[in-house]
Copies of this chain bind each other. A is one copy, B any other.
Amino acid sequence: MTNLQTDIVLSSRVRLARNYEDLPFSLMETPGNATLCEQRTLNALSLENADEGYTLYRMREMNEPQKNVLAEKRLLSFDLVERCPMGSAFIHEEKQVSIMMNEEDHLRIQAILRGQQPEKTAELVYQVEDALQKHVRFAFDARLGYLTACPTNTGTGLRASLMLHLPMLTLSKQMGAVNQIVAKLGLTIRGIYGEGSEALGNLYQVSNQATLGRTEEELIEAVNAVAKQLIDMERNLREKADRNDPVQLEDTISRSYGLLKYARRMSLKEFMLNWSRLRVGSALCRIPHSLEKIDALLEKAQDAHIMKWLGEEVQGETLNEARSQRIRKLLS
């Protein structure tokens, strides 16, 4: 069995960008073509019986919290949620596979798996692509590969990313150096919710930047290789901290645990800070909660999830109060 490195790697995500060869790129502003794209996709999957367990979500038919819950689960991109009224997604929640339609490209097929297993994750998206390709034709150039709305995605159209938890690298101010290493290898490192987002919770996504000129296997291999380096660096720092001053480490973890269990109001930002310390505690067996539980907490403590749990749209201190309630319940 493969080691999923869950102490540092939360998840693997792979997405493919695909476009129908007979439709213009970027259908956001042509409702007729957008509907055609959606129907064609659903039909193709249905003909292959590949639609079982999937639910269709249309952005224009959902309210903000409903959309945001799926975005917080990373089953929808924030781009789709915020900027694509004609967008929709066909989602298999259990398998964590989603087929986004009418986002930047006609199709964004993505899958997420726990820990470091981008190869298996890629298999899931290729299964979907295979089913589709029995009935549709994608824009493809023999020399360039798959064609996409934005040239950076042209080629394999594949982006493989790993979500890494790097609190010690962050604390030791090494993320600047890490960024440089990563960039030199043609990869990129970003915050939890993708481009331009802050590294809340010391969470970083490492992914390939370009998709052209390398095979799918090479791209995934490159991401795995960089992740391996970062995992080693982070693990060494954790071991060093534990060796040098175990009580200091335990104090930091335990204080965050205490705050999460006792606060009556907590902002998302403060939650993410304490959650990060809690995750280190779980990885080092310093608190009585599994990594699975801690990672589930991350999702459940996000704004839209809190509103869903509460059953109403709230904000400000009322939201922070409900968040604390929810956290206490989940940790008790």
A residues neighboring B (CB under 8 Å): 247-248, 250-251, 254-255, 257-259, 261-265, 317, 321, 324
> Are A255 and B247 closer than 8 Å at their CB atoms?
no
Residues of chain B with a CB closer than 8 A to A251's CB: 263-265, 324
Q: Which 5 A-B pairs have the closest CB atoms?
A: A258-B262, A258-B258, A251-B264, A254-B262, A251-B265
Determine the distance from Cα of A257 to Cα of B251 in the docked complex, in whole angstroms: 15
Residues of chain B with a CB closer than 8 A to A324's CB: 251
Residues of chain B with a CB closer than 8 A to A250's CB: 264
Determine the distance from Cα of A262 to Cα of B263 in the docked complex, in whole angstroms: 13
Tell me how far the C-beta of A247 lies from the nearest C-beta in chain B, rounded to whole angstroms.
5
Residues of chain B with a CB closer than 8 A to A254's CB: 262-264
The interface centre, meaning the residue of A251, A261, A317 with most chain B CB atoms within 10 A of its CB, is A251
> Are B263 and A258 closer than 8 Å at their CB atoms?
yes
Partner of A255, one of B257, B263, B317: B263
Residues of chain B with a CB closer than 8 A to A265's CB: 247-248, 251
Residues of chain B with a CB closer than 8 A to A247's CB: 264-265, 317, 321
Determine the distance from Cα of A259 to Cα of B274 in the docked complex, in whole angstroms: 13
